[in-house]
Amino acid sequence: MSTYGINLDNPAEPKLLGVWRGENGNGLPHDVSFNAAGDRLYTAQPGGLGRPGGEASQNGLVISDVSDFAARRPNPTAKVISTLFWKDGAVAQMTERLQINGRPYLIFTDEAGAGGIGEGAKAACAQNLPPFGFGRLIDISDERNPKIASKLMLEVHDPANCSATQLDTGFADLFGYSSHYCTADNLDNAQYLACSYFEAGVRVFDIRDPYRPKEIAYYKPPARSAMLAGSSNSSLRRHANRTADWASSNIRWHRSGGELHLWFTSHENGFQIVKFTNRLGSLKTSE
């Protein structure tokens, strides 16, 4: 695992600036994002990959100074500023910087529960840990001491409910109810998040108080009895009694006239547009 810095000042002629292979085993990426200046790198470092003693054994966030790359210096390198790791999730998936009430935070998701890919949901439950991955909001106002502000957990992520969720899925699927991507309505003044949670569908959270987020809406694309040509689910999903499709894509917020829509794709239903209903039909965002 390495991070490749590519100069796109001239998009017609991209140039490799350098390759950073991490520092003391930290900074190994699954996904990355930057601050506005481009001199801070936020890395989702995936642990729990089923490779004991291998790369990226710690799961969580790595914040690095990438000023060398931003300044286009020759032979650039990066320096780790801080790390924040945890045991209640694995296979760190994505990061995205945003502001809530003028303070900087990161959206962060895990693609698997505490058992990772190797041991899985059953092993996580045996340790009283979450069987599936979920989103987090991380306060980075002190970049040398990032802190988890809140966890975007559903009831299926609570290990107290393992017996019910195991009956549902048999813990046979690779991802189950894990998170994948979260998208804010406005990165500069975020109020709401829309997140894809695989078989738990699309989940929408009110994050105006980032320490006390609330789930306010959801949509679960229905399961299809027949597999669509090109669907990626046939080789990954092993339990037949499913009631919902997998939603794992990025989600886009879009206003159309007086309605607020979410655009996304799911594995078996393809591209979809959904709107807010009931009391949320007039939901106002900061977009």
Label residue 180 exposed, middle or buried (CB < 10 Å: 0-12, 13-18, 19+): buried
**Nearest alpha carbon to residue 247 among 225, 218, 226, 227:** 218
Amino acid identity of residue 72, one-letter, is: R
- DSSP β-bridge partners for residue 252: 263
Q: What is the pLDDT of residue 53?
A: 43
In three-state secondary structure terms, 15 is strand
Task: Enumerate residue ranges in the chain where pLDDT < 70.
Answer: 51-56, 169-170, 225-242, 281-282, 284-287
Q: What is the pLDDT of residue 171?
A: 76
pLDDT tens digits, 175-205: 889 999 999 999 999 999 999 999 999 999 9
CB distance 110 to 65 below 8 Å? no
CB distance 254 to 183 below 8 Å? no
Q: What is the pLDDT of residue 198?
A: 92
Check: CATH 2.130.10 for 3-248?
A: yes
SS in 3 state form for 218-252?
A: EECCECCCCCCCCCCCCCCCCCCCCCECCECCCCE
